[in-house]
Structures are given as C-alpha cells and as structure tokens.
Amino acid sequence: MVDRLGLVHATSPVRVPTVPEAGMEPRWCVPLRVCGQLVGYLWVLDPQHRAGPDTLPALAAAAEHAIGVIASGSAPEDDDRQLRDLLGRLERGTDEEAARRLTVLARSPDDALIAVDEHSRRDGWTLSDGLTALPVGPGHPGATSGPPLPLAELHEAARRARLTLQALRAGARLTRRSWDCLHAWRMVVEAPPALDPAEIHPGVDALQRQKTHDLLITARTLMDLGGDVHATADALHLHRTTLYYRLDRIKALASVDLRARTATTSTSLCASRPSVRRP
C-alpha cells in the first residue's frame, strides 16, 4: 500500500483515503526524513475529516518532533555523520532545510543563530578548514565572523571569518579580530580577483616598479594608523626625517600627498602591498 500510494517518495503530508481491505480509516501520512533519507512515517488518524490545509503546519511541527526523538536514539557515529553532512550543505550555501535538521539534531532553538570563530572551540562545530561554527542566541557579542547570522546563513558567516583572517595576514590592524572591524579593508579583501590596484589609482604602478617595497609599506602603514606620522615612524622603526623623505618620494612618484590624510585617494596604494591575496 505504501508503494501504491507513492508514500515512499513523498516529501510533504499526504492524505490517505479509506482502505477497507486493510481495515484502515482515513488518515494523514507525514514522511519523516533525516538528511533526505526516509526513516519512517507519522500517521494521524482523521476519520471525521477535521484536518485540512490549515492544520498542515501543526503536522509538520509534529513530524520535526518525531525526527528529533528518532535522532536522539541513533548511534553516536550516525549523529556525527549527519552533523558533517548538514554542516557541509550549509557551508555550500543557504539551506533552510539543512538548518532545520541541524537544530533538531543539536536540540537547538528554532531561532538559533550562528557565528564563526578562528579558534577551535569545544562548544562549537569544526568546519572544513578548521574554523569553528558556534550556535549562539540573540545578543551574542559575535566572533571572527562578526555579529551572529541565521543558522541557514552559515556559509556567509564562514566567508566573513575567512576574509577577516585574510586581512589580518596581510597586515591589517584591527581593534578586534572581527569582521565588523574591517572597515576600509573590506574594499581590499572583497575586491574581484581580476582587479588590479593600478586600475583604481595609476600611482600604484610607479610604486610597484621600485626595486624595494619600502614606499608601499610606508604608505599602507601610514593609512592603517590614520595618517599619524609619529605612530608610523615608531611602527616602522624610522627616524621621522626618513619617513618624511619617503612621503615626499611617494608624492613625487604617485602624485598622492599622504600627509593630507586623504584615505579615499590612497586606499588603492595601501591595497597593493605584495603580501595581500584577494579571494
């Protein structure tokens, strides 16, 4: 009968009519699936035909609860396999179904949020590249990925964490190691791979043609420090006279006066440090 009614392939509640030869009264059949695999059925008797389309959300909620009961009784290795599968799906893109399944498997609230941290954490889930996904609630201060996002947006949280770490490896000086502290660095790490900084500002070519990268490093450090000449000299271990000489050279070669602290005209110069790797 299950095959005859097509219940094996059902993905939503199915109204099952009376089956006299089997002694079955009318009922609803709700397939129970975990990670796309059929694990059973939830049968809701309805001889009086009281259940209609408006009751389907309640049936779906009952099915989710049943799946949770089934999952709680599964072997640890099965739970681990399901967890890895669901996390993999969420890392690849927005997946509402995978998010729902994960909340059931992890016994998390339906409105669970997610943050991604660079450090290994026992209270989180390890992602494919060693980052840790943290199921959190509203009001969480955030992590490397910045403020928490809906669980279904795990892939975006992971992307933000990776780009934050990329900026830090390139030398970004952030008040906190977090996406929401990148500010102008987002222009660098989110730039298209084919974009050449020289397309943004022609002065970059002149600085890149120099035998050493001292001028590029000086320009980037000055802008990282908000145009603070004293702090830049200290960070680069330079005498102030040497720093002023470099700034004059930059002005002559790139036609950019960094002492004017015009961040918008020099962002492209700062982005062109050789160690920067855009995604």
Residue 184, class by beta-carbon neighbours within 10 Å (0-12 exposed, 13-18 middle, 19+ buried)? middle
Structure tokens at 260: 């004017």
Quickly tell me which residue has 């959190």 as its tokens. 136
What is residue 60's predicted lDDT score, i.e. its pLDDT?
77
CB 272 within 8 A of CB 204: yes
User: Percent helix, strand and coil across the chain, each rounded to 5?
Assistant: 50, 15, 35
Q: What is the DSSP letter of 175?
A: S
**CA atoms of 83 and 81, how far apart (whole Å):** 5
Q: What is the DSSP letter of 31?
A: E
Listed residue (250, 178, 179, 175) closest to 215, CA to CA: 250
Which segments of the chain have a pLDDT < 50? 261-279
Q: What's the pTM value of the predicted model, to 2 decimals?
A: 0.54
Alpha-carbon separation of residue 159 from 90, 98, 145, 222 (angstroms): 12, 18, 8, 28
Listed residue (266, 184, 259) closest to 228, CA to CA: 259
What is residue 178's predicted lDDT score, i.e. its pLDDT?
95
**CA atoms of 185 and 189, how far apart (whole Å):** 6
